[in-house]
Amino acid sequence: MKIGYSFWGFLGNGITDTPDGGRSHRRPFIDALLARGHDIVFLQADRDLLEAGDDLGSAYTFDYGVPDIDALFLEWRWAITGRNTTVCGSEGHTCDLHRQAQLINHYTVRHQTPTVIWDKDRTLRTESVWRRTAHTRVCEAALAPTHGAHSLLFPVAEGLLAQADPAALAARPRDLELSYVGNQYDRDEPFDRFFAPAAARVEHVVAGKWTKTDRWRHVRFLGRIPYEAAAGVYGRSLATVLMLPERYSAVGQMTQRIFEAVLAGCLPLAPADIRYVDRFVPGELIVSSGRDVIERLSYLREIAGTQQHADLIATCVDRLHVFDLSKQVDTLESVLDGLVRPSATERGAA
């Protein structure tokens, strides 16, 4: 199947001054689709080349026109005031939203091309017409997606899980007890409840874009770091806290931060109010307050480097199988098959 794939971000390391959590899983996902025989053409700007000067070994095809495709796959973009809602060519403008509208108008509306929307940020309105159009389907990265949507989680390659060595990870020296890698967006409440109280007691860092931090003067904010440096932060840290916006935690939508941390041996402490939290982490790592975080960190310090520590890391690695790459590719292929087959039948009948 020839799939037109629209995403606004990077396949490689990209640049530092930009948010794009998709870098951890987008390229493995696409490579797996290619390995299954699909033809992929990217329909947004090649930001790897234009902004990072990386041609990715000329391994991928980008097309800013409207090539013939069998299906359209959109990593859903939404309106961001002052960025993609401004006039094309104006200072600070990004054209992701305009390009998405062009693609939808050409493929989804005019040609009724089978279209899959991956609403990775949960910004597609529940009343959106695309949730009830015959030739469109919506996927969400949640265990309990919106009614009618399909669960398509952020994937992690099974090979990475197989390569993880819990004993070696437990033995690694860690000078930080706590860290967080990620941006502030809609995370003030869990930061106040879980991270900030512990940060007053232990060595820690926070990496990412945090612009309103006056009430947390005791927290060490590093600012944005290069994408590839995140593994280094986790590799120095005993634990992190999985802080999710409420719209994620309510539906069991876990971000890629969990497997980035676990694969570096950084144990993920998870707030108890995350739906299906026990499918993401073992009970020993579920917390209900900042005091819980402090107590769990004290316990982790006691077992650091021991077999107990290695066993806990191994349990966390095992929990990551919910994100298995092959499962997520199976899901997308099933969704696409359900869309394309009826279309083919209708064309034959016509």
Share of the chain above pLDDT 90, in %: 87
pLDDT band at 269 (very low <50, low <70, confident <90, very high): very high
The predicted model scores a pTM of: 0.93
Q: Is 8 left (phi over 0), alpha (psi -120 to 50) or beta?
A: beta
> Is 344 buried (19+), middle (13-18) or exposed (0-12) by CB count in 10 A?
exposed
- Sign of torsion, CA 164 251 78 185? negative
pLDDT at residue 89 in the model: 85
Cβ burial of 134 (10 Å; 0-12, 13-18, 19+) is: exposed
Are 293 and 204 in contact, with CB atoms under 8 Å apart? no
Q: Do 187 and 241 form a contact (C-beta atoms < 8 A)?
A: no
Mean pLDDT, residues 270-285: 98
Distance CA 150, CA 137 (A): 8
Taking only the tens place, the pLDDT of each residue in 49-84 is 999 999 999 999 999 999 999 999 999 998 888 888
- Domain architecture of the chain: domains with CATH: 2-155+324-349 (3.40.50), 158-323 (3.40.50.2000)
Cβ count near 128 (within 10 Å): 16
The least confident of 66-80, 87-101, 105-119, 134-148 is 87-101
pLDDT of residue 344: 47
The whole-angstrom separation of Cα 256 and Cα 183 is 13
- Among residues of the chain, what percentage have pLDDT more than 70? 97
Rounded mean pLDDT, 306-324 = 98
Mean pLDDT of 280-298: 98
| pLDDT of res. 328 | 98
Q: Does residue 15 register a pLDDT over 90?
A: no
Give the per-residue pLDDT at 210: 95
pLDDT of residue 247: 96
Cβ(4)–Cβ(43) under 8 Å? yes
pLDDT in tens, 139-181: 999 999 999 999 999 999 999 999 999 999 999 999 999 999 9
Q: Confirm if 240 and 234 have CB atoms less than 8 A apart.
A: yes
Q: Is the pLDDT of residue 95 over 70?
A: yes
**Reported confidence tier of residue 36, pLDDT bands at 50, 70, 90:** very high
Instruction: Give the largest CA-CA distance in the chain.
Output: 71
Secondary structure letter of residue 52 according to DSSP? H
